[in-house]
Amino acid sequence: MGALRGVRIADFSRVLAGPYATMLLGDMGAHVIKIERPGLGDDTRSWGPPFDAQGRSTYFASVNRNKEGVTADLATGAGRAKALTIISESDVLVENFGVGVMEKFGLGYERIKDEFPRLIYCSISGFGASEEGKQLPGYDLLVQAMSGLMSITGPDSEHPTKVGVALVDVVAGLHAALGITAAIVSRNETGHGQKVEINLLSSILSGMVNQSGAYAGAGVIPKSMGNAHPSIAPYEAYKTRDKQIVIAVGNDGQFAKMCAALNAPFATDSRFSTNSDRVLHRKELNLLMTAILHTKGADEWVAVLNKVGVPAGPINNIEQAIELAERLELDPIVTIKDSRDGTTSKTIANPIKLSETPVGYRYGPPSLGIDD
């Protein structure tokens, strides 16, 4: 039944950040009603390939399970009336239109908060609601570039690189889900709703943790270091005889164990005595390690290092990662049979484990207007 059983969400969001947030809440039992444009729907319905066996975009399906699907043209009086009816029956409203769009439809927070004082109203934007911010389009790639995330991603500072998934949207969606949940708890105490504001830029600045924190706390501007870590060594990818592995040494004790496992002659070298020393002499250390690691294959080195408690592992593709999760009995993929139309879909499982109110999978991604 879920921890959020009884919570109703009017979901006006589309693409990724908002839909991801509402899907997570739906997994936890919330009743999510996804409101889309008639005939068009969420942009991601057409984002493919790949498409699943039913011809649905896997992008859309990945963030829209456990939702009802209704349509409403907010540009018409009938559509707005339908939307207001849904809102009147809801605890939460989520939207990620451009700043001011909901106001144009007569559905902005200031317009409806007095009519629905218990409503929790979550707005997700790209850059906030200032005059300059609301002019900027909130695309994940744009925010990756403007936030500095691309400047710390990639092989070096000459080749800024985007992350291989729309990470900014995902982080913003997680913040939105947390903010909404906190507002629900507050409303249970006070009886009053409130506005929850999330923007992509602030979300990823928070999500860059130690990297953005280096500037906030010490004025240091981080730069891209490939697979290396700015504050830990050895902590990156290394070439072996056949392929690369990752070695993640987090303390001096692990470094000593690694040296023993590698039979490394540099174990007592004063340049590598402490983590700070190793960070300072990273280049020299990596050359010495690579010379040893080239003598054996990746699988053999991973086994040797793991046996003595040194964190090491292969660089998997997605298929191999799913196989690993299955081997670890983490049940990474679930199959949903939709009671509305009998279709089945496979989806990545919600990672949150609740012992008393487990997440559930009631519906697959909705067909456009299936619940009209």
In tens, the pLDDT along 312-361 reads: 999 999 999 999 999 999 999 999 999 888 889 999 999 999 999 999 99
pLDDT of residue 325: 97
pLDDT of residue 146: 97
Share of the chain above pLDDT 90, in %: 98
Which pTM was predicted? 0.94
In tens, the pLDDT along 135-160 reads: 999 999 999 999 999 999 999 999 99
Q: What is the 3-state secondary structure (H, E, C) of 334-345?
A: EEEECCCCCCEE
Of 372, 322, 370, 368, the C-alpha closest to 57 is 368
Of 194, 198, 138, 196, the C-alpha closest to 173 is 198
Rounded distance between C-alpha atoms, residue 99 and residue 113, angstroms: 17
pLDDT of residue 339: 85
At residue 227, the 3 state secondary structure works out as: coil
* Largest Cα–Cα separation, the chain: 78
Q: Strand ranges (DSSP E) for the chain?
A: 8-11, 31-36, 67-71, 92-95, 120-125, 195-199, 235-239, 244-248, 312-314, 333-337, 344-348
pLDDT of residue 250: 95
In sequence order, what DSSP letters do the residues of 22-89 get, joined into one string? HHHHHHTT-EEEEEE-TTT--GGGG--S-B-TTS-BHHHHTT--SEEEEE--TTSHHHHHHHHHHHHT
Look at residue 77 and tell me whether its pLDDT is greater than 90.
yes
Look at residue 46 and tell me whether its pLDDT is greater than 90.
yes
Show the tokens assigned to 141: 């790639």
Look at residue 285 and tell me whether its pLDDT is greater than 80.
yes
Look at residue 68 and tell me whether its pLDDT is greater than 90.
yes
Rounded distance between C-alpha atoms, residue 11 and residue 93, angstroms: 6
pLDDT of residue 311: 97
Look at residue 1 and tell me whether its pLDDT is greater than 80.
no
Decide: 271 and 234 in contact? Cβ < 8 Å: no
pLDDT band at residue 120, thresholds of 50, 70 and 90?
Answer: very high
Of 75, 108, 100, 226, the C-alpha closest to 158 is 226
DSSP class of residue 294 equals T
| Whole-number average pLDDT of the chain | 96
In tens, the pLDDT along 154-174 reads: 999 999 999 999 999 999 999
Look at residue 270 and tell me whether its pLDDT is greater than 80.
yes
pLDDT band at residue 222, thresholds of 50, 70 and 90?
Answer: very high
Rounded distance between C-alpha atoms, residue 153 and residue 204, angstroms: 13
Catalytic annotation, pick one of 169, 341, 371, 372: 169
- Helix%, strand%, coil% for the chain, nearest 5: 40, 15, 45
Look at residue 3 and tell me whether its pLDDT is greater than 80.
yes
Rounded distance between C-alpha atoms, residue 89 and residue 73, angstroms: 19
Q: Is 252 a catalytic residue?
A: no
Residue range 197-216: average pLDDT? 98
pLDDT of residue 190: 97
Residue range 62-86: average pLDDT? 97
Residue range 357-367: average pLDDT? 95
Q: Which of 212-251 are b and which e, b meaning 16 or more Cβ less than 10 Å from the residue's Cβ?
A: bebeeeeeeebebbeebbbebbbbbebebeeeebbbebee
pLDDT of residue 108: 97
Decide: 123 and 134 in contact? Cβ < 8 Å: no
Measured CA to CA in angstroms, residue 49 lies from 7, 43, 52, 53 at distances of 34, 14, 9, 12
Set out the domains of the chain in order of their start, with CATH numbers. 8-207+332-348 (3.40.50.10540), 235-319 (3.30.1540.10)
pLDDT of residue 53: 87
Residue range 239-247: average pLDDT? 96
